[in-house]
Amino acid sequence: AQSVTQPDIHITVSEGASLELRCNYSYGATPYLFWYVQSPGQGLQLLLKYFSGDTLVQGIKGFEAEFKRSQSSFNLRKPSVHWSDAAEYFCAVAPGYNAGNMLTFGGGTRLMVKP
Amino acid sequence: DTEVTQTPKHLVMGMTNKKSLKCEQHMGHRAMYWYKQKAKKPPELMFVYSYEKLSINESVPSRFSPECPNSSLLNLHLHALQPEDSALYLCASSQEAQSSGANVLTFGAGSRLTVL
């Protein structure tokens, strides 16, 4: 079975600073990888996804993520954080053959942004 | 329309009440999902409907009863809940439950349930 680890429970960055949120996965083959963002009391919004091809994927709101097979990682990055980026971020993995109903989430990373 | 709409946004109920959560999507998606999310935790899958048929039940207690009246609607009927069932209940949909590739989940904003 697949699993996802987000090592950082909380991260605080200053507005305008760069951001990197870590995600490590465990899966026997090439997984499908996702990053979702959740604002307080809200549902989850898809930031970006990786299925195949270019290992650097661009998403919405200026986010990008890089798939590194050798490190089993899919870290999320943003060059300059805005106060509105404060939220909970979830990395998720699904097996390629059945992406929808086998989605496994990491524990989440809460991002706080200092003015 | 690229949204999943959930009602009500907030629900408070007693342990003897019967209530329902509703979810609607008009994206033509044929798979719909219920997730439960406790505070500061990731979402946990409860049920999956594929083409209006229940395809996955993740060992959810019978006090939660899902229903899919048609391809656009998904309900979650609640009866005799416990205080520990208090959580954010998220509905999601995707093009199909069994396909790969572009099968991305679109989530609703959730229904915040409090059981007294």
- A24: nearest Cα among A90, A94, A73: A73
Average confidence score pLDDT of chain A: 91
Residue A84 is predicted with a pLDDT of 95
Q: Do B107 and A34 make contact, defined as CB atoms within 8 angstroms?
A: no
pLDDT tier for residue B25 given thresholds of 50, 70 and 90: very high
Residue B116 is predicted with a pLDDT of 93
Asked whether residue A89 carries a pLDDT value surpassing 80, the answer given is: yes
Q: Do A105 and B101 make contact, defined as CB atoms within 8 angstroms?
A: no
* Range A1-30 average pLDDT: 92
Task: Give the three-class secondary structure for B66.
Answer: strand
* Range A6-31 average pLDDT: 93
- Chain B residues near any Cβ of chain A (below 8 Å): 4, 6, 31, 33, 40-43, 45, 48, 50, 55-56, 88, 90, 92, 94, 96-110, 112
Measure the CA–CA gap between A13 and A96, rounded to whole angstroms. Answer: 34
On chain A, the residues whose CB falls within 8 A of the CB of B2 are: none
Residue B82 is predicted with a pLDDT of 95
Contact B83, B116 (CB under 8 A): yes
- Per-residue pLDDT of B39-78, as tens digits, reads 989 999 999 998 999 988 888 999 999 999 999 999 999 9
Measure the CA–CA gap between B95 and B97, rounded to whole angstroms. Answer: 7
Q: Which of A51, A90, A108 sits opposite B101 (nearest CB)?
A: A51
Task: Give the three-class secondary structure for B27.
Answer: coil
Return the residue matching tokens 């009440």: B17
- Per-residue pLDDT of B85-104, as tens digits, reads 999 999 999 887 655 555 78
Instruction: Name which of B2, B29, B105, B111 to mutate to probe chain A: the one with the most chain A Cβ atoms within 10 A of its Cβ.
Output: B105
Asked whether residue A100 carries a pLDDT value surpassing 60, the answer given is: no
Q: What is the CA radius of gyration of chain A?
A: 13
The residue of chain A nearest to residue B104, with distances taken between CA atoms, is: A100
Give percent of chain A with pLDDT exceeding 90. 74
- B18: nearest Cα among B91, B75, B89: B75
**Dihedrals φ, ψ of A71, to 5°?**
-105, 0
Per-residue three-class SS string for chain A: CCEEECCCCEEEEECCCCEEECCEEECCCCCEEEEEEECCCCCEEEEEEECCCCCEEECHHHCEEEEEHHHCEEEEEECCCCHHHCEEEEEEEECCCCCCCCCEECCCEEEEEEC
In this predicted model, which residue has the larger pLDDT, B47 or A2?
B47
Residue B102 is predicted with a pLDDT of 53
Q: Do B43 and A107 make contact, defined as CB atoms within 8 angstroms?
A: no
In this predicted model, which residue has the larger pLDDT, A64 or B48?
A64
Asked whether residue A97 carries a pLDDT value surpassing 60, the answer given is: no
The residue of chain B nearest to residue A103, with distances taken between CA atoms, is: B45
Residue A98 is predicted with a pLDDT of 54
On chain B, the residues whose CB falls within 8 A of the CB of A35 are: none
